[in-house]
Structure 1
Amino acid sequence: MTVTLIPPVHAAADKPAHRDSNVLRWLGAYTASMVGDNVYYLALSWAAVQAGTPSQAGLVMAVSAVPRALLMLGGGVVADRFGPRRVVIGSDAVRCAAVLAVAALLFAASPGLWLLALLAVLFGTVDAVFMPAVGALPARVTGRDQLARVQGMRGLAIRFANVVGAPLGGLGVALGGAAAAFGLAGLLIAVSVPLLISVRMRDLPTDGEGDLPSDGEGDLPTDRQGDGKAGGAADREADGKAGAAADREADRKAGGEAGPRSMGAAPDTAPRATPWQDLRDGLRYIRGHRVLAPLLVAIALGDLGFVGPLNVGLTLLAEQRGWGASGMGWVLSGFGTGAGVAALLLTVRGRLPHAGRLAAVAILAGSVAIGALAYAPSLAAAVGTALLVGLLAGLSGALCGALLQTQAEPAYLGRVSSVAGIVSLGFAPLSMPLSAAAIGWWGTGPVFVTSAAVCGLGGVVVLCSGPLRRAQLPR
């Protein structure tokens, strides 16, 4: 098989991300994949409702979360060992093939819920590898100074996918049932594969390169040197603990693909670390990092306090206030608009000063807005409050994501992204049934205020951590 080597992107050729064709190809691939995901979930829910009872349909929709949560940490190891580009391409290819196969089966017959459950499990398993790789990929396609802008562009892509995906899925169901919707989802995911293949990978920085102080005081470089005791630079140089040196060499040779070592290289006598050792190394790296450790705690608290009110509490609030489904839709539109504006701001500016302090202020102000949403006197006031929630939550989320991207060393980004994914996709959804039960006992107001307090604790964590509070986005 002939392998086409794609030349790496060099730092000297850096362009603003929104004008870089390489980044735009990545963004197009990511957008197509996300739109396909939205169409897929709508098709899956429709097919499950048609094939079984509502409770059975709910079980089918939830079953994909189990392998995703259980395997996400392992997915981060896979992304760092084999390179995120290769993992994302392979994951999208598997997801595309699985969805198209189910579409073909549904066209030919009615296999029932077992097929849908099997697809959901497979999709969740592949997602456990796909999501950490997606989080690690931006550092390979652009420079550190553009990662914040890329985070804003990624947020815009997610908003676009949420807005467009559901109507496209509904159109597919209307024209040809669940089979047509699955087929459309598979084709959209398929579009991402050639785009990803055309994306060029850049050289990863060698140990110590590209590390910038968080506030001009030198906190982060000192901290990262200390992280070597917990499996940082020394382990990567040994090529046995984390395998990062081999990944960087492979990325330089084949645009992010793993490849054979040079024939002239000295034989490597050190044994390659096992996946379990790589996982432990990544967790030690996070635990010992003075910015990433509190940042992930803040992200976790924000997700735990935010997911319940938005997904469950808002539905119950709209029912209690008599706003109906249309009123709830308007409130959700307000939230989406605010989040989109925040993503657009980061895309246009590329960098916001005092990122750590700004994230803390946005988290605290957003938590107050979440608590106020339950006491909005009218639908118009609720929509305005939701707009503010979306703006502040979108801003804090984009800044936290940008800090995560810029503070983590690229060789660890898969594992760092997997920990963040575990928090967002594994723990945070647990707050939804708890929020529903708590609202039944105490009402919407107290539960929204409690959730807001949990979100606010994330801002307190940022303010109490000096390195994180002083963290800056690279220029």
Structure 2
Amino acid sequence: MAEAETLVRKDGPEPPGRPGQPGQPEPHAYGSPFSPGYLGFVAANGFSAVGNSAWFVALTVVLTETASPTVTGAVLALCSLPALLGLLIGGAVVDRTGPRRVMVVADLLRCAVQAAAAVVAWLGHLSVPVFVAVLLLTNLMDAFFMPASGALRPRLLPREHLLRGNSLFLLGARGGQALGGPVGALLMGVGGAALVAGFDAVSFAVSAVAVLLLRAPAVRQAVPTAAPSPGKAEDGGGPPPEGLPARIREGLRYIRGHRDLFWLIVLIGLSELASMGPVNVGLVLLADRYGTPLGVGALLTAFTLGAVASFLISTAWPTRRRSGGMVVVGVTGQGLLLAVLGLIGSFGPAVAVYFGLGMLSGLVGNVLGSLVQRWAAPEVRGRVMSVLNMTAFTAVPVGNLMLGVLVNAVGLPATMLLHGALAGLAALIAALRPAIGKARLD
């Protein structure tokens, strides 16, 4: 079936429905997230995540052996920029050519890059410039793959099963990331970086085949000339604009005019900003404060296990009818736990708090992401998901910087209280926007 279909309606596109309300049902490929086709897609993506994490282990090991810590940090930081800077372009390409096609091409290109890296490593010519080239190219492909993946899943499942389907997808991805560390260490010991790069190339090929085998209904390409406002009809449709800059501007106008969708993305940004610093830099400072040898590893493991638990819970008992209420309660809980972190004086309770943070972050993030997918019109969903991805990406360096500045200015306990207050602001936004606070995913 063709991935994208150009069909312009004279009377404008079918409205997706107001936020939180039932809208026009979309065609879907599978009746359940437990369908063999969707489970194969989840498993292949998880396998690709194993390859990614294994390659990151090999990359870190070889870089630290051949370059200084400063060079290693600079390479990892600078090479992440293509993923951030290319997201808006990636989202526009997704909406123009279709998410499945974009995902397959991105996977095949990453497969080719990693296969070339495996050959270079086997020949003994690995160097910092080679690593930089590999990272730049694979991260650039991530900028296309991520919004495509977010735009594709609503096409695969009925709207009432989207939350459960996203939970399975995230569970596979997070499980693959966790498994990739030991797999990477094992492969490095057996065959070095060449074997790890080859394994990663195979994982991308498997992912491409799985996506290629998916059934994905076509999407009408008529796009609103003006973004819908709550309570108002869309202004009509027309052919999508030509040129990537025009398509990007159109997507940004759509989000700006869709008030509840705009505030939903703002809420996600505030929630991520409140938690990213404590989860990254904060756990290092807290581990040093408690002076335990378990330290960072135990706190990070607790957070990861909490996130995995949240995906299991959402798979078994998805929050559909009271999704908005769960967001308000969950973000409020995040704020309270963040505030408590600054007051805890022993390591054991801190581990429990990080487990709770991981669980609430997973539950809330899954619901918020599913709401964005549901509220965005199918014709602009790739661009909306690219903005969402940019928001989450930007929150990591900004959150880390903000936490460091605040710790130096007011100390760790007050910094955690301020992060809790930021999460409280996000919860307040969710409670005051009726479409968010009363949102449903059934």
2:415 aligned with 1:447: yes
Q: Show the counterpart of 2:60.
A: 45
Tell me the alpha carbon deviations over residues 271-329 of structure 1, each in whole angstroms, 9 at most, x when there is no partner: xx2222211111111111132111100000111111111111101110121023x2322
Map 1:89-238 to 2 at 5 A.
89-204=104-219, 223=230, 226=233, 228-229=234-235, 234-235=236-237, 238=238
Identity %: 29
2:34 aligned with 1:27: no
CA contact (8 A) 1:22 1:141 kept: no
Map 1:196-345 to 2 at 5 A.
196-204=211-219, 223=230, 226=233, 228-229=234-235, 234-235=236-237, 238-241=238-241, 273-324=242-293, 326-345=294-313
Tell me the alpha carbon deviations over residues 308-364 of structure 1, each in whole angstroms, 9 at most, x when there is no partner: 11111101110121023x232222222222211211122123443221121011001
Determine helix, strand or coil for the equivalent of 1:291.
helix
Q: CA RMSD in A?
A: 2.4
1:17 to 16, 19, 33: 33
In structure 2, what residue type is equivalent to 1:299?
Answer: I
| Counterpart-to-counterpart distance in 1, 2:142 and 2:130 | 18
Distance change in 2, residues 1:131/1:347 (3 Å): same
| Counterpart-to-counterpart distance in 2, 1:461 and 1:36 | 39
Give unmatched runs, 5+ long, in structure 2: 6-25
Q: Show the counterpart of 2:323.
A: 355
Tell me the alpha carbon deviations over residues 123-159 of structure 1, each in whole angstroms, 9 at most, x when there is no partner: 2211111111111110221121211111111221132
Tell me the alpha carbon deviations over residues 219-251 of structure 1, each in whole angstroms, 9 at most, x when there is no partner: x9973854x34xxxx33xx2233xxxxxxxxxx
2:404 aligned with 1:422: no
Distance change in 2, residues 1:221/1:412 (3 Å): closer
Determine helix, strand or coil for the equivalent of 2:86.
helix
CA contact (8 A) 2:319 2:326 kept: no
User: Displacement of 1:374 after TM fit?
Assistant: 3.1
Q: TM-score normalized by structure 2?
A: 0.88
Q: TM-score normalized by structure 1?
A: 0.83
Determine helix, strand or coil for the equivalent of 1:416.
helix
| Counterpart-to-counterpart distance in 2, 1:5 and 1:361 | 42
| Counterpart-to-counterpart distance in 2, 1:11 and 1:416 | 19
CA contact (8 A) 1:313 1:439 kept: no
Distance change in 2, residues 1:442/1:178 (3 Å): farther
In structure 2, what residue type is equivalent to 1:223?
Answer: P
Distance change in 2, residues 1:432/1:13 (3 Å): closer
2:368 to 388, 395, 400: 400
CA contact (8 A) 1:303 1:424 kept: yes
| Counterpart-to-counterpart distance in 1, 2:377 and 2:50 | 30
Q: Show the counterpart of 1:81.
A: 96
| Counterpart-to-counterpart distance in 1, 2:152 and 2:345 | 44
User: Displacement of 1:438 after TM fit?
Assistant: 3.2
CA contact (8 A) 1:31 1:158 kept: yes
Distance change in 2, residues 1:417/1:344 (3 Å): same
Distance change in 2, residues 1:126/1:12 (3 Å): closer
| Counterpart-to-counterpart distance in 1, 2:211 and 2:29 | 20
CA contact (8 A) 1:151 1:398 kept: yes
In structure 2, what residue type is equivalent to 1:194?
Answer: V
CA contact (8 A) 1:346 1:352 kept: no
Tell me the alpha carbon deviations over residues 151-193 of structure 1, each in whole angstroms, 9 at most, x when there is no partner: 1112211320222011111112222222222222222222111
How many residues align? The count is: 418
Give unmatched runs, 5+ long, in structure 1: 209-219, 242-272
Determine helix, strand or coil for the equivalent of 1:17.
coil
| Counterpart-to-counterpart distance in 2, 1:192 and 1:292 | 31
Higher mean C-alpha deviation, range 20-29 or range 126-135: 20-29
2:442 aligned with 1:435: no
Higher mean C-alpha deviation, range 420-429 or range 51-60: 420-429
CA contact (8 A) 2:221 2:239 kept: no
In structure 2, what residue type is equivalent to 1:49?
Answer: T
| Counterpart-to-counterpart distance in 1, 2:325 and 2:295 | 35
CA contact (8 A) 2:274 2:420 kept: yes
User: Displacement of 1:467 after TM fit?
Assistant: 1.7
Determine helix, strand or coil for the equivalent of 1:340.
helix
User: Displacement of 1:377 after TM fit?
Assistant: 2.9
CA contact (8 A) 1:335 1:390 kept: yes
Distance change in 2, residues 1:110/1:471 (3 Å): same
Q: Show the counterpart of 2:73.
A: 58
User: Displacement of 1:393 after TM fit?
Assistant: 1.4
CA contact (8 A) 2:160 2:320 kept: no
Determine helix, strand or coil for the equivalent of 1:200.
coil
Higher mean C-alpha deviation, range 79-88 or range 161-170: 161-170
